[in-house]
């Protein structure tokens, strides 16, 4: 069989799919001068090839099939598998329609297709619901998939072949820069585990299947293969909580060193699953970027969405430790929790600036289908266009804030965080106490300027 794998380019803004927002994807369209710069940086450092597609390529080629790869071009084959998303589904179904008129059977995979199959079903011969590998195994063994096809999660992740990046990269390059913790071109996504044991009600990462992890041997063998094929690869561990199991994480780091693997990596985790000894080990093994969710400064608000808050002091001490150790930190925040108001969001923005992670990402709380949070607010959801569930667009009637206010606060969050002298100081790793005091005073002046603009536009400053 000729199997075409399609991870289609997004049509507008910076579109991320695959494992972003669990697979629903996100679309970042710049809406201010600051976000235009962030948009540029995302394009440069955050483009990543699809790991799901690389797995499917491995399964198909192992079974002896020809695998072809496309980001947009129509390629004739016997069957085409399209990576679905919410944020760009119209482009995906249009592409599928065009392929079917050429006589190619088309199927969709991914979280969007799994949770909202109806929007894809009319445009496909089959829709794979669930993690796609089981159904793909059936397809390559000769089963004719059609309609809605359940795909059981792979219980033993060690049974999966390693992703075949050579079959799905098509000109993709990553370039490491000595001054940058991240490689140009993004990096290679790799999952040592899937699913998450936590219970955050808004999170789409935990709704497809439960937590499972790979053996250390399997992870290290895959890393070794990457190192054999690419010079000093930048690896992005896409586990929702990479340090979930401390001993396992330590063992992975030990083994990276024992085998002398020359790589750099970044990972995402919860800060209560990290300590300084672990960070030291991870740094020696190649950790250069640590991403983590803070979400909100309010422990009560977090508890109401099932998220266990991490003590502030712990967050501050670890961010400071990473700064001194040379590990870039990226903190995630969610604005618009149900009991948020202007003041509480301002407090979260203040905290983000004060915490001083190297980078910060702010998103609006988005009710994703299949999550408990979706069920909770479904009657309040007014947005009918699934493509607007992109993480940056208000989609439901918030009890305390209008859509205009939410969007303004989102813009203010980026402006406050990135347009302050101490952001630059953090980025340039300036630690001198005296210099930091001077920079702190400059921050106050910049905040006053922001407040002037905010009062002009919204009649109130973004302060708490
Ligand atoms: S910790 Fe919460 S937000 Fe993070 S992946 Fe797990 S369930 Fe999702």
Pairing of strands 212-213, 193-194: antiparallel
Share of the chain above pLDDT 70, in %: 97
Position 174 scores a pLDDT of 63
For residues 187 and 265, which has the higher predicted lDDT (pLDDT)? 265
Q: Ligand 1 centre and the CA of 278: distance in Å? A: 20
Position 145 scores a pLDDT of 97
User: How far from the centroid of its chain's Cα atoms is residue 456's Cα?
Assistant: 35
Position 131 scores a pLDDT of 97
Q: What is the mean pLDDT of residues 116-126?
A: 97
Separation of alpha carbons 247 and 49, rounded Å: 29
CATH 3.40.50.280 residue window(s) in the chain: 2-150
Q: What CATH number matches the domain at 178-419, 3.20.20.70, 3.20.20.80, 3.40.50.720, 3.30.420.10?
A: 3.20.20.70
Position 180 scores a pLDDT of 67
Residue 381 · residue 216 · CB < 8 Å: no
Confidence at 178, pLDDT banded by 50, 70, 90: low
| Spatial CA neighbour of 299 closest among 341, 348, 265 | 348
Q: Is the pLDDT of residue 183 over 80?
A: no
Confidence at 46, pLDDT banded by 50, 70, 90: confident
Query: pTM here?
Result: 0.93
Position 44 scores a pLDDT of 83
Position 458 scores a pLDDT of 93
The three-state DSSP-derived secondary structure of the chain is: CEEEEECCCCCCCEEECCCHHHHCCEEECCCCHHHHHHHHHHHHHCCCCCHHHHHHHHHHHHCCCEEEEECCCCCCCCEEEEECCCCCHHHHHHHHHHHHHCCCEEEEECHHHHHCCHHHHCCCCEEEECCCHHHHHHHHCCCCCCEEEECCCCCCHHHCCCCCHHHHCCCCCCECCCCCCCEECECEEECCEECCCCCCCCCHHHCCCCCEECCHHHHHHHHHHHHHHCCCCEEEECCCCCCCCHHHHHHHHHHHHHCCCCCEEEEEECHHHCCHHHHHHHHHHCEEEEEEEEECCCHHHHHHCCCCCCCHHHHHHHHHHHHHHCCEEEEEEEECCCCCCHHHHHHHHHHHHHHCCCEEEEEECCCCCCCHHHHHHHHHECCCCHHHCCCCCCCECCCCCCHHHHHHHHHHHHHHHHCCHHHHHHHCCCCCHHHHHHHHHHHHHHHHHHHHHHHHHHCCCCCC
Pull the structure tokens for residue 288.
């250069």
Confidence at 3, pLDDT banded by 50, 70, 90: very high
For the chain, what is the mean pLDDT?
Answer: 94
Position 177 scores a pLDDT of 63
Q: Ligand 1 centre and the CA of 197: distance in Å? A: 8
Position 47 scores a pLDDT of 81
Q: What is the mean pLDDT of residues 144-148?
A: 97
For residues 170 and 23, which has the higher predicted lDDT (pLDDT)? 23
Separation of alpha carbons 272 and 16, rounded Å: 27
Residue 80 · residue 95 · CB < 8 Å: no
Separation of alpha carbons 222 and 241, rounded Å: 19
- Which stretch, 80-89, 173-182, 231-240, 433-442, has highest mean pLDDT? 80-89
Q: Is the pLDDT of residue 366 over 70?
A: yes
Q: Give the binding-site residues of ligand 1, using a 6 Å CB cut-off.
A: 196, 198, 200, 203, 205-206, 240-241, 270, 293, 307
Complete edge-to-edge strand list for the sheet that includes strand 264-269: 188-190, 234-237, 264-269, 287-295, 328-335, 359-364
Position 184 scores a pLDDT of 66
Q: Is the pLDDT of residue 173 over 90?
A: no
Nearest CA, atom 4, ligand 1? 240
Return the C-alpha torsion angle 288, 291, 292, 296, nearest 10. 130
Q: Is the pLDDT of residue 60 over 70?
A: yes
Residue 267 · residue 240 · CB < 8 Å: no
**Closest atom of ligand 1 relative to the 197 alpha carbon:** 6
Best of 239, 293, 304, 371 to mutate for ligand 1, by most ligand atoms within 8 A of CB? 293
Residue 145 · residue 135 · CB < 8 Å: yes
Q: What is the mean pLDDT of residues 188-205?
A: 96
Position 362 scores a pLDDT of 98
Sign of torsion, CA 379 385 391 397? negative
Best of 199, 240, 301 to mutate for ligand 1, by most ligand atoms within 8 A of CB? 240
Residue 409 · residue 348 · CB < 8 Å: no
User: At what angle are helices 312-325 and 342-355 packed, to 10 degrees?
Assistant: 40
CATH 3.20.20.70 residue window(s) in the chain: 178-419
Residue 41 · residue 177 · CB < 8 Å: no
Q: Ligand 1 centre and the CA of 372: distance in Å? A: 13
Position 170 scores a pLDDT of 66
**Partners of 147 in the beta sheet?**
126
Q: Is the pLDDT of residue 299 over 90?
A: yes
Q: If 0-12 CB within 10 Å is exposed, 13-18 middle and 19+ buried, where does residue 88 land?
A: buried
Position 432 scores a pLDDT of 85
User: At what angle are helices 133-140 and 51-62 packed, to 10 degrees?
Assistant: 30
| Architecture of the domain whose range is 2-150 | 3-Layer(aba) Sandwich (3.40)
Confidence at 360, pLDDT banded by 50, 70, 90: very high
Predicted confidence (pLDDT) per residue in 447-458, tens digit: 999 999 999 999
Share of the chain above pLDDT 90, in %: 88
For residues 459 and 333, which has the higher predicted lDDT (pLDDT)? 333
Best of 194, 196, 268, 308 to mutate for ligand 1, by most ligand atoms within 8 A of CB? 196
Nearest CA, atom 1, ligand 1? 198
Kindly give, in sequence order, each residue whose CB lies less than 8 Å from that of residue 325, ignoring residues fewer than 6 positions away. Answer: 279, 280, 283
Separation of alpha carbons 187 and 164, rounded Å: 15
What are φ and ψ of residue 167, in 5° steps? -90, -15
Q: What is the mean pLDDT of residues 429-457?
A: 91
Pull the structure tokens for residue 234.
């930048």
> Per this entry, what is the length of the chain?
464
Q: What is the mean pLDDT of residues 267-274?
A: 97
Position 2 scores a pLDDT of 97
Nearest CA, atom 8, ligand 1? 203
Least confident piece of the model among 174-188, 236-250, 277-291, 295-309? 174-188
Q: Is the pLDDT of residue 176 over 70?
A: no
């Amino acid at each position: 069989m000729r199997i075409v794998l399609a991870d289609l380019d997004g049509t507008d803004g910076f579109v991320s799919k695959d494992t972003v927002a669990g697979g629903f994807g996100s679309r970042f369209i710049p809406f201010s001068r600051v976000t235009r710069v962030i948009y540029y940086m995302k394009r440069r450092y955050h483009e990543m090839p699809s790991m799901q597609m690389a797995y499917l390529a491995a399964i198909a080629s192992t079974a002896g099939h020809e695998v072809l790869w496309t980001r947009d071009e129509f390629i004739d084959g016997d069957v085409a598998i399209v990576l679905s998303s919410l944020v760009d589904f119209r482009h995906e179904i249009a592409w599928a329609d065009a392929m079917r008129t050429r006589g190619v059977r088309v199927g969709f995979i991914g979280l969007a297709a799994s949770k909202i199959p109806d929007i894809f079903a009319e445009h496909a011969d089959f829709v794979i619901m669930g993690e796609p590998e089981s159904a793909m195994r059936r397809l390559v063994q000769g089963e004719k998939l059609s309609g809605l096809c359940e795909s059981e999660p792979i219980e033993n992740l060690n049974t999966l072949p390693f992703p075949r990046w050579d079959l799905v990269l098509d000109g993709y390059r990553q370039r490491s820069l000595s001054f940058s913790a991240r490689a140009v071109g993004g990096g290679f996504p790799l999952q040592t585990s899937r699913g998450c044991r936590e219970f955050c009600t808004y999170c789409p990462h935990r709704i497809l299947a439960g937590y499972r992890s790979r053996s250390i041997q399997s992870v290290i063998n895959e890393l070794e293969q990457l190192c054999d094929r690419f010079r000093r690869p930048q690896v992005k561990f896409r586990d929702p909580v990479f340090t979930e199991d401390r001993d396992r994480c330590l063992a992975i780091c030990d083994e990276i060193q024992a085998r002398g693997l020359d790589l750099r990596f970044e990972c995402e985790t919860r800060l209560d699953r990290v300590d300084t000894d672990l960070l030291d080990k991870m740094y020696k093994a190649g950790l250069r970027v640590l991403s983590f969710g803070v979400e909100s400064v309010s422990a009560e608000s977090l508890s109401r969405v099932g998220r266990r808050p991490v003590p502030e002091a712990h967050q501050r001490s670890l961010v400071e430790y990473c700064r001194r150790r040379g590990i870039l930190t990226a903190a995630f925040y969610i604005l618009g929790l149900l009991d948020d108001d202007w003041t509480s969001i301002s407090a979260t923005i203040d905290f983000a600036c004060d915490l001083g992670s190297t980078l910060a990402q702010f998103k609006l709380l988005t009710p994703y289908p299949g999550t408990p949070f979706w069920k909770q607010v479904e009657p309040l959801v007014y947005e009918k266009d699934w493509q607007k569930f992109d993480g940056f667009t208000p989609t439901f009637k918030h009890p305390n804030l209008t859509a205009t206010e939410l969007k303004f606060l989102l813009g203010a969050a980026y402006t406050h965080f990135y347009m302050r002298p101490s952001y630059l100081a953090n980025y340039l790793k300036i630690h001198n106490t005296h210099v930091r005091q001077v920079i702190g005073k400059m921050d106050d002046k910049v905040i006053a300027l922001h407040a002037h603009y905010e009062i002009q536009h919204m009649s109130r400053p973004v302060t708490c």
